[in-house]
Structures are given as C-alpha cells and as structure tokens.
C-alpha cells in the first residue's frame, strides 16, 4: 500500500530523547529513542514475547525494557536481558529500522534494510544550516489524508480559495514546468 524502500521523515530531531517516543508510520507502530552515545534507534513497537507495545515500557541504560515482563532489547533489536535468567535467547528479536538524523529531522527507512542508502535522503539543509531559520511544528487536519495530499499538489486553486493569504494572479498564470530526470 505504501512505498517502503525510501526515506520518510519520522520526527523532528529534538523530539527524540533517551525516553521512548512512539509513532505510527505506514500503518506500522515504531518506537524511537537515543542510545547512551546519543544516536537514534528505531524498533517495531511490539515485544516478541506477548506482543505488548514496547512503548508502554521505558529505557534502562540505553536498552528498551518491555513494560510487561521486563525483557530488554538493544538498538539492534536483540534481546539483551531476561529477568531471572543468566542467558538471553538468540532468537527473540524485535524488528529494527534503519534511521538517520539529518537536517534536524529523524529519517526512517521502512523497507528492505539492505537498500537503505543515506545518500538518498533529500537535501533539506535549510532546516539546520547557519543563516537559515526553520520553524517546526505540526498541523493537524480533520480530513482524509488523500484530500490533503490532493490539495497540496493542486496549486491551480491557490489564486481563488487562498486569495487573502498566499494566492495571487501570478500563481494562476504561471506555467507548469516539469522535468524528467533519469
């Protein structure tokens, strides 16, 4: 249903701290957190033991602790601790997602991990470059996302619907220019 082998913005970088941060992206529940060295990690928000959302737990020394039985997982998704046991099972893992922090944003690759190439992240240098100022935040719409997408792609209505804000006659008369890039 969604293109998966591409980078998506998952959060503003300042939103992800050492505490768990949950998001649903492409109908997939994901948790984010900063590890002890400050890098961002992302795992599926589901403990493999009882399928409880890991976001109901917490972080302990950079590991994600499930809020149900206390199993802990590292940034790679491997089980690193089981309460009451000296050994950890090698086949109890949580799906890991490739993530990158660039341009004050957290990017996630939801598809085949081996295809995740950080060079494919769009250049949005103005988000954190000296001499530029960016405002972050969210706009929540009570609307079908397909209509919002259609609205953002259809600039021909700007002149008329948004005449008191961003619309003007120049927008209506501007030719559409497209370029095919191989």
**Do 102 and 155 share a structural domain?**
no
Domain membership flag for residue 13? yes
Confidence class for position 174, pLDDT limits 50, 70, 90: confident
**Do 162 and 119 share a structural domain?**
no
Instruction: Check: CB of residue 82 under 8 Å from CB of residue 61.
Output: no
121 Cβ partners below 8 Å, 6+ apart?
7, 100, 102, 103, 107
**Do 36 and 83 share a structural domain?**
yes
Does residue 41 carry a pLDDT above 80? yes
pTM for the whole structure: 0.82
User: How does the average pLDDT of the chain come out, rounded?
Assistant: 93
DSSP 81-132: E-TT-SS--TT-B--B--EEEETTEEEEE-S-GGG--GGGS---GGGT-TT-
Range of the domain at 23: 7-127
Residue 13, Cβ neighbours under 10 Å: how many? 18
**Do 171 and 90 share a structural domain?**
no
pLDDT of residue 168: 83
- Surface-to-core class of residue 82, CB atoms within 10 Å of its CB (0-12 exposed, 13-18 middle, 19+ buried): middle
- Surface-to-core class of residue 32, CB atoms within 10 Å of its CB (0-12 exposed, 13-18 middle, 19+ buried): buried
Does residue 150 carry a pLDDT above 90? no
Please state, in angstroms and rounded to a whole number, the distance separating the CA atoms of residues 97 and 113: 7
Quick one: CA dihedral 106, 107, 111, 116, positive or negative? negative
**Do 154 and 123 share a structural domain?**
no
- Joined together, the tokens standing for residue 40 give 């961002």
**Domains contained in the chain, number:** 2
Domain membership flag for residue 1? no
Domain membership flag for residue 147? yes
Q: What percent of the chain has pLDDT over 70?
A: 100
CATH number of the domain bearing residue 29: 2.102.10.10
Domain membership flag for residue 45? yes
**11 or 169: which carries more pLDDT confidence?**
11
**Do 74 and 48 share a structural domain?**
yes
pLDDT of residue 176: 78
- Joined together, the tokens standing for residue 74 give 């590292």
- The neighbouring-strand residues paired with 41 are 33
What mean pLDDT is predicted for residues 83-103?
A: 95
């Amino acid at each position: 249903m969604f293109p998966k082998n591409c980078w998506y913005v998952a959060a503003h970088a300042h939103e992800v701290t050492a505490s768990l941060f949950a998001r649903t992206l492409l109908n997939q529940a994901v948790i984010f957190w900063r590890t002890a060295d400050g890098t961002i990690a992302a795992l599926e928000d589901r403990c493999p033991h009882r399928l409880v959302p890991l976001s109901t737990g917490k972080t302990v020394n950079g590991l994600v602790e499930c809020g149900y039985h206390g199993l802990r997982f590292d940034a790679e998704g491997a089980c690193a601790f089981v309460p009451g046991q000296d050994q950890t099972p090698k086949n109890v893992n949580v799906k890991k997602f490739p993530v990158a922090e660039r341009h004050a944003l957290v990017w996630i690759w939801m598809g085949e991990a081996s295809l995740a190439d950080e060079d494919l992240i769009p250049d949005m240098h103005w988000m954190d470059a000296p001499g530029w100022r960016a405002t972050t935040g969210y706009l929540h719409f009570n609307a079908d996302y397909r209509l919002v997408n259609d609205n953002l792609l259809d600039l021909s209505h700007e002149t008329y619907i948004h005449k008191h804000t961003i619309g003007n006659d120049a927008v209506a008369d501007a030719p559409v220019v497209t370029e095919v890039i191989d």
